[in-house]
């Protein structure tokens, strides 16, 4: 990896880690998720970065991909478990990090399970390491704590303006001879649950990514397509779209999805409504792995 690119990954990681730690002070029972998301995204910009994706604030059995909507009144409820997933980019080079907070002692072990799984595999991100070894260690750690890894969620590679690149990093054992290479950027994100260990997509999607520009008739759809193009393929939130009416946004988005202009990221829920925890760091593969978001 070129030194200039590595420095951009490191700078994005430094901002992400600072914002992650500062965001902890925002989290209290009764606080609106919308306030938290907007403050996280504002902090990223104030520090000189740009959000690599909307702040994800996923409660309880929602594992990922929930971000507040316009005028969202959802608040952190008593006894909840909240995943905070945030990303920063510098010229498209991304730092992706996440943590989980429990507002009940009942889920302290679940929070620790995903956190321990992450800590146990960071030092394994070295050139020549089999990806299957990392996945096996994640599963071993989570199951050893008495929980299940989420089998159909994975970590992922990172490339410039490409958030979910190869390789994908399963949270369960799998058979593969794929090995890590020097300089790869990877987001490792173990998910643990007290449920069955699988997630399903739910509606509506609140986060989108632009795939390609195409001719559209609806003026709102044209406006959204023009707006989406500024993100160079990185995800954006429905609430960021500069149209006041949610109804108009969703009508236009439906056309854009049908035409293959936009891809939606629906909220992901555990199939048996089991509580879910998440922990995540971004790592550059090296003999001494570089954890940019530490």
* Residues that are catalytic: 85, 96, 156, 164, 189, 280
Dihedral angle of Cα 131, 137, 138, 142, to the nearest 10 degrees: 170
Q: Residue 81's beta-bridge partner residues?
A: 102
- Closest residue by Cα to residue 2 from 208, 160, 203: 160
Beta pairing class for 281-284 and 207-210: unpaired
Bridge partners, 57 (sequence order): 84
Residue 82 CA to residue 224 CA, distance in Å, equals 30
Cis peptide before 24 (omega within 30 of 0): no
Are 100 and 279 contacting, i.e. CB atoms less than 8 angstroms apart? Answer: yes
Q: How far apart are the first and last CA of the chain?
A: 20
How many other C-beta atoms lie within 10 A of the C-beta of residue 276? 32
Q: Which helix (H) or strand (E) holds 136?
A: helix 131-144
H or E stretch including 228?
helix 219-228
Question: How far does Cα 109 stand from its chain's mean position?
Answer: 22
Per-residue DSSP letters for 105-159? GGGHHHHHHHHHHHHHHGGG--TT-BHHHHHHHHHHHHHHTT-EE-TT-EEEEEE
């Amino acid at each position: 990896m070129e030194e200039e690119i590595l420095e951009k990954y490191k700078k994005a990681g430094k901002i992400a880690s600072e914002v992650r730690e500062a965001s902890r002070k925002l989290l209290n029972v009764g606080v609106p998720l919308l306030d938290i998301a907007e403050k996280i995204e504002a902090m990223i910009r104030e520090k000189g970065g740009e959000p690599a994706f909307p702040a994800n604030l996923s409660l309880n059995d929602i594992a990922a991909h929930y971000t507040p909507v316009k005028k969202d009144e959802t608040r952190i409820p008593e006894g909840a478990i909240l995943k905070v997933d945030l990303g920063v980019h510098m010229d498209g080079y991304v730092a992706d990090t996440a943590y989980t907070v429990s507002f009940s002692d009942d889920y302290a072990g679940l929070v620790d399970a995903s956190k321990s799984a992450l800590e146990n595999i960071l030092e394994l991100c070295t050139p020549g390491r089999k990806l299957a070894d990392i996945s096996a260690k994640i599963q071993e750690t989570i199951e050893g704590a008495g929980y299940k890894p989420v089998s159909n969620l994975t970590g992922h590679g990172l490339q410039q303006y490409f958030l979910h690149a190869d390789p994908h990093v399963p949270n369960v054992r799998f058979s593969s001879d794929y090995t890590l290479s020097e300089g790869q950027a990877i987001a490792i994100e173990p998910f643990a649950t007290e449920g069955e260990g699988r997630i399903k997509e739910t509606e509506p999607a609140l986060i989108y990514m632009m795939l390609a520009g195409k001719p559209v008739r609806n003026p709102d759809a044209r406006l959204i397509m023009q707006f989406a193009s500024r993100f160079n393929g990185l995800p954006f939130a429905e609430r960021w779209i500069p149209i006041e009416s949610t109804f108009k946004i969703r009508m236009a988005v439906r056309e854009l999805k049908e035409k293959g202009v936009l891809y939606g990221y629906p909220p992901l829920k555990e199939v048996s409504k089991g509580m879910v925890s998440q922990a995540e760091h971004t790592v550059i593969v090296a003999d001494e792995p570089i954890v940019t978001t530490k």
